[in-house]
Amino acid sequence: MGKESRVDIRVAIQDVTKFAGDALVVNLFEGTAPAGRRGRTATRTLGGATAAVDAALRGAIGRLIAAGELTGKRGELTLVHTHGMLPADRVLVLGLGKPEECTPDRVRTASADAVRRLRKIGARRVGTIVHGAGAGGLPPAQAAQALAEGAVLGAYRFLVYKPEEKERLAAPTLTILDRDPARRRPLTDGVRRGLIVAEATNRARDLVNEPGNVLTPTELARRARAQCRSAGVACEVLGPPALRRLKAGGLLGVARGSQEPPCLILLRHRGGRRGGPHLGLVGKGITFDSGGISIKPAEHMEAMKGDMAGAAAVLAAVCAIARLGIPLTVTGVIPAAENLPGGSALKPGDILRAMSGTTIEVINTDAEGRLILADALHLAGRRGATHLVDVATLTGACVVALGTLYSGAFGNHREFLERVLTAGREAGERLWPMPTDADYDELITSEVAEIKNTGGRKGGAITAAKFLQHFVGETPWVHLDIAGTAMADKESGVQARGGTGVMVRTLVTLAWSLAGG
């Protein structure tokens, strides 16, 4: 992760009005009246740190409120110059909306918006209060974690190949200010968690944003080893000879058209007690997807470098789980390959035998992700996983169904599916449950093999999930289709353009949940 993406964050027990720097960030809730006044629509008067800053500014914030230029509505950003009345050069007032609707995700988004705005004006030394930990009612640690996540995610830019922009877009140094010494520990703990999770998300973004000529399956494995080494995660990479011994017919079949050898990347965090839950995380690692013989249209094919976003999320999440010391055993399985046309490429009508022994008729070579996931899910089960989650940019059908705001969630176990959905809500990543009725199975029944790799256009995201379900047995399993959410075409909230790192935060939150934390 480049330095331009990193935000240094510290906690200081200090009067907010004494902070000296380029900018000071405070907040305002909707329906707040200036100090000493109460209008008809106001439900509260200016208080706390924002009132102290207003007093130091001789009522400048209050006058903006009275004039209707400052309302506290969600997403509002108002910059006030201090003209020497405070040691900080400027004050940025964030609108947080109604206090009863204050959530960690709202704090996360506001923090990201603040960092972007302050970077545009060249602010480097920034002080901030803990948004949401006062009138918003959030526990200080939770509010600090959300603030740190938002700042780091909002500052992200992929500038590896644009070095001239790195210095101009350098991220600020952020100091969280609080007057209560008793809150130093929870704030510091929250910041640490937020930094680990957000920096992991940005590492996933880096991988998704790399071009396919750089991030081959071999290079993905090399970077996985490096990240695991620094996080204390065991990493094993299986090449073609080992894959042949495992009879990984799905992965080997997909890779046939490319000169780049496939590999299977195995991760292990040994943090749980014997006999406790064992989380298996599987991530689709197609480092470039042309569609194979069933080639995709040329338009927007460059985005297919991101077809390994599930792999990036799993790698980043397992490393973050280890860094956080979550007491849970986690196995990550990442099948990596390119899907290209070539003289030896997989053809429509071919029959493969997966690692489980299941025979698969290939109808469309562009439905390759489920072929490599079939082997990976089976292996994760063999490695002892008691709960399985796979993350994959699997189907355009899921984008048609849900657009780019929600990832699809499919499962075979209602309680575990609900646990994953809850983790997504807590992490601020939107998931929508999709059906997996047994009646859909007939759409992927083959006349010449046990199963076929696509069921046609109708319910395409569902039949893809049903295909994967054949390889998990009775193990509680959730499939997350991130085809619509893995990449973004514009900045919005915590999202940057390009790779989003989606599902890293959800998987880490899920691990905490399974560990009982």
Q: Catalytic site residues?
A: 296, 370
Dihedral angle of Cα 351, 354, 359, 365, to the nearest 10 degrees:
-40
d(CA 326, CA 344): 44
What type of residue is 322?
A
Count other C-beta atoms under 10 Å from residue 26's C-beta. 23
| Euclidean distance between CA atoms 320 and 196, whole angstroms | 6
Beta bridge partners of 441: none
Altogether, the residues listed in the chain come to a count of: 517
Residues 6+ apart with CB under 8 A from 253: 346, 350, 352, 362, 371
Contact criterion met (CB below 8 Å) for 391 and 486: no
CA dist 330 and 385 (Å) reads 8
Closest CA to 475 of 414, 411, 387: 387
* DSSP code string of 319-340: HHHHHHT-SSEEEEEEEEEEE-
Q: What is residue 96's DSSP assignment?
A: -
Tell me which DSSP letter residue 502 carries. Answer: T
Helix (H) or strand (E) holding 50: helix 48-56
CA dist., res. 225 & res. 231, Å (int): 10
* Contacts made by residues 489-497, CB under 8 angstroms, sequence distance 24+: 491/116, 493/108, 493/109, 493/112, 493/113, 493/154, 494/108, 494/109, 494/112, 494/149, 494/150, 494/153, 494/154, 494/428, 495/153, 496/153, 496/154, 496/156, 496/157, 496/158, 496/205
Residue 176, both tokens: 């969280």
If one counts every other C-beta atom within 10 angstroms of the C-beta of residue 296, the result is: 15
Q: Which residues pair with 148 in a beta bridge?
A: none
